[in-house]
Structure 1
């Protein structure tokens, strides 16, 4: 084949690829517009049944959109009521959102999309919270999930470490939760929870759970410069309320976890105000926050 023919063939292939990519992007934008309309129905539906049916339609439409080539890199950034968080190592991203039940509780929905250019590799997240009696210690899967809406993914420090997901959960009409969820991918399966948290008095936890009053909120944040996870220290409003977590809230002190040899080791009574670099990292730009609606933003109980 002559050089001119090779160049021409290359140009034709490049043009065909560009046309196909443009067509896919148009389709993804159309799906996004549809999802945005359904999302409004989920929020504004007059009855629980109406909103639930809209939720199922939303899920089916989202899956159809994700089947398109290149969907992994499409941001869906006009969908404001769901959280879409991408792994800093770019291996996967997580969709998660809350559905408000009429009794004041929430059911969570979500999915993990792997970065697979060849085909859609999707793990649905199925909320089984009511059936999980001890969420701090139970190892679960995506099919048996402690529902939450995630807002940050902490990549593994070493290849053998799990990822950590930071999330928020409306627990019941009286309390909310913040959760640190370890997650690993092994043999095409998802495992959630791992014995990587070393707490006080030699205790080990598979998952960190903080519970506090529904009208309050809690800070839970990763400081990559130090490999620390820092969070508000939660206490009851009165000593007699100990163990009744609807009365727990921040006391303006901070605890944390530091990374040591594959584990996250508990630290108490941290001084976070005198270190300018930490103060900068703790600042949350409101324009960049992607946290759930109706999410309390203060503080929590410590395990």
Structure 2
């Protein structure tokens, strides 16, 4: 009897603690009101009539967002009405990242953002992100939130290795009038602080190995569309192979996809480059043919890797051997 009462008390206390670690109705209502103001400012930052209007809206958006986030347990408020502000969460929900972009009149973009940690006591722990990409001659860097390679994040993939969590960030940079970029980089936390970049992109298994990179970036033509993202079904990163449309490899703004695909596999704490992912793509570096490919032969939902193709080939050979023996 005493044991049952003790267990019941434990359940009540645990339930109370869980309830306390959530946004209360008053806080939720307050954040809803603040979100209306944030929505207006974010829209002006994105689509204001000129750079001055956009910059002023952005300058007001930053403190307004920080003020809203100071509400206890604000981490549990989604801010889903802020359509021009990207909010991304990792699988373990230990933090979230806000990012947004401001277009300059010259066609270049500056990015803003912040990492909000999911704290146990609901108090705000925030790391503002300072876009350093326009001032860094070397993009293959490792830095903290004060030396951030600015972009708009659209996905986070979480990896685990040797009792540490690693977060792969996928971002888009509208860049300038001629080209755009997609960025893949690692985020980890050291002594509770964010570290962006690191030697996690290996090309050691390529036929001609290259040095390990701290960050992976593809740049391509402004009006082209290129993929760089984590494919959960394949458990790997897949991206478009790019070639120069004008046979000028030194000019990234001429690059377009050639219907071939490359990727990265997570192995022993690194993203290891895979030179060819799909079996039905064009040979690397070849310009797409004028006649469209037979789409009936393409199965994007269940693409094959080179390993899958080799296994399928061996299975067919075994079947042929068995058939010959029977004959």
- Uncovered stretches (5+) of structure 2, i.e. residues with no partner: 281-297, 304-327
CA distance in 2 between counterparts of 1:225 and 1:157 reads: 18
- Greater relative CO (CA pairs within 8 A, separation 6+): 1
Greater gyration radius: 2
Deviations 1:227-249 (A, max 9, x none): 2100000000132x111011001
Find the aligned partners of 1:148 and 1:41 in 2 and give their Cα distance.
19
Partner residue of 2:178? 174
CA distance in 2 between partners of 1:251 and 1:130 (Å): 29
Paired with 1:75 and 1:232, the residues of 2 have a C-alpha distance of: 32
Q: Equivalent residue for 1:185?
A: 189
TM-fit CA distance, 1:54: 0.8
The corresponding residue for 1:249 is 256
Cα distance, 1:168 vs structure 2: 0.4
Q: Give the drift of 1:17.
A: 6.9
Q: Which moved more, 1:29-38 or 1:224-233?
A: 224-233
The answer to whether the 8 Å contact 1:223/1:278 transfers is no
Distance in 2, Cα, partners of 1:25 & 1:257: 41
Shift of 1:51: 1.5
Give the one of 269, 274, 277 matched to 1:270. 277
Superposed CA RMSD in Å reads 2.4
Paired with 1:96 and 1:260, the residues of 2 have a C-alpha distance of 29
Conserved in 1, the CA contact under 8 Å of 2:242 and 2:255? Answer: yes
CA deviation after TM superposition for structure 1 residue 117, in Å: 3.5
Partner of residue 67 from structure 1, selected from 58, 67, 70: 70
Q: Deviations over 1:60-106 (max 9, x none)?
A: 11111111012101111111111001111111110001110110000
Deviations 1:193-233 (A, max 9, x none): 01011124142001001010111121112123432100000
Q: Give, in angstroms, the shift of residue 133 of structure 1.
A: 1.2
Deviates more, 1:191-200 or 1:265-274: 265-274
CA distance in 1: counterparts of 2:214 and 2:175, whole angstroms: 19
| TM-superposition CA deviations, 1:33-59 (whole Å, max 9, x none) | 111122232234333222111101111
2:146 aligned partner: 143
Comparing 225-234 and 244-253, the one that deviates more:
225-234
Residue aligning to 1:165: 169
Q: What do residues 240-294 of structure 1 show as CA deviations (whole Å, max 9, x unaligned)? A: x111011001001100001111111111222166566546xxxxxxxxxxxxxxx
Is the CA contact 1:92–1:112 (under 8 Å) kept in the aligned structure 2? Answer: yes
